[in-house]
A and B are shown apart, each in its own frame.
Chain A
């Protein structure tokens, strides 16, 4: 099983709202990632969690706040977003061990900021 699940599938929020995106995997993977993908563009890395600790933050604005409550769960808290933040937000996970580099993506959350 190589399934990464994401909820919700779609989210519409105003610029003053607070919302959260959720990602879950039960493959025993120890690295989890958030990517942002704009239309007709490649995914862009936002955050990397390694063994439940934030290891990479790609200069993402503070209105995006990641959280990794346990090794299977990854959240992305959203606050005071801008319309240009509308995008597909993708979660991914990988085993992160020597010899096992595969990174598996979830279906994404389509976010629209109004």
Chain B
């Protein structure tokens, strides 16, 4: 059973555009939802994260939107740049991470110059 579903699998966006990646979860016990960025050959880097008590969080060009009733959350990358080209993973966990992270399958993002 896949507990975190991520879409799309791949995404091509023009430079300066908005990149949008969506995730949906099934386990209502999840209470922490991070996004990670991973470049080839590197470990995942924490990008931004949200808890269910807020509906939106913004850090620079990155925004998470969270819909608790729909059990969905999304990442928006504003003014996308070629350096943003990477694989993005959404994830979820509960109990301060005591159970580890459950990841979505990932989105391969390409920003075209």
| A residues at B contact (CB < 8 Å) | 2, 4, 6, 31, 33, 35, 40-45, 48, 50, 55-56, 58, 90, 92, 94-98, 100-108, 110
**Chain B contact residues (Cβ within 8 angstroms of A): what range?**
20 to 34
In the bound complex, CA of A4 to CA of B45 (Å): 11
B8 within 8 A of A: no
Q: Is the CB of A55 within 8 A of B98?
A: yes
In the bound complex, CA of A33 to CA of B93 (Å): 13
Q: Is the CB of B97 within 8 A of A94?
A: yes
| B residues at A contact (CB < 8 Å) | 32, 34, 36, 41-46, 49, 51, 89, 93, 96-106
- Which residues on the A side are within 8 Å of B98 (C-beta)? 31, 48, 50, 55, 96
In the bound complex, CA of A105 to CA of B89 (Å): 13
Which residue of B has the minimal Cβ distance to A95?
B96
Q: Is the CB of A106 within 8 A of B43?
A: yes
Interface centre among A92, A101, A105 (most CB of B within 10 A): A101
Q: Is the CB of B43 within 8 A of A103?
A: no
In the bound complex, CA of A59 to CA of B32 (Å): 24
22 contacts between A and B (CB under 8 A): A33-B100, A42-B105, A44-B103, A48-B100, A50-B98, A56-B99, A90-B44, A95-B96, A96-B96, A97-B96, A100-B96, A101-B93, A102-B46, A102-B49, A103-B46, A103-B93, A103-B101, A105-B36, A105-B43, A105-B45, A105-B46, A107-B43
